[in-house]
Chain A
Amino acid sequence: DIVMTQSPDSLAVSLGERATINCRSSQTVLYNSNNKNYLAWYQQRPGQPPKLLIYWTSTRESGVPDRFSGSGSGTDFTLTISSLQAEDVAVYYCQQYYSSPWTFGQGTKVEI
């Protein structure tokens, strides 16, 4: 199974500042035939189901604000919130869908 490891486990960011979350996979999630990284990011606010933010490493889901961006390739990925808003307080998860079983990182809690 591919192990996904996020860092840090938690971070506190001031309103309007940048938040950066890292995700590392135990093996590549880059599919060479289409040059796509099979990596997604989710946001989970307290008491709610997860919400898809980004897929294919950097494609924002419809309706997701452009302050959220994803980058990386191979085994190392980053989710960046360029200017933290109060509503961004949540736990963020990365997920690989390159190889079954699909696996998630342990989560990163973002606080103000």
Chain B
Amino acid sequence: GNSVTQMEGPVTLSEEAFLTINCTYTATGYPSLFWYVQYPGEGLQLLLKATKADDKGSNKGFEATYRKETTSFHLEKGSVQVSDSAVYFCALANSGGSNYKLTFGKGTLLTVNP
């Protein structure tokens, strides 16, 4: 079956530090990969996505590259801000009949201090 393993948190950084949150996956075929962000008390927002090998998703200074050879989709940002403090979820989706489901990792809490 499908599974997503992401870096255990919490992660605490100072403003302008470099961020990496690791994510690896197990899936059959060619899944689509996503990073979602959840700010306190809110729903999930799609941060970026990649649908095939070597695709790079990017948004708001965040990037992640779909690496099929290492089954990874690590999230990076060169300079984090206090406003990036949130929980980040890595997720994958695989087709299967009409089952358009997401498989989530456990989430990584990021706290950025000024």
User: Do A and B come from the same complex?
Assistant: no
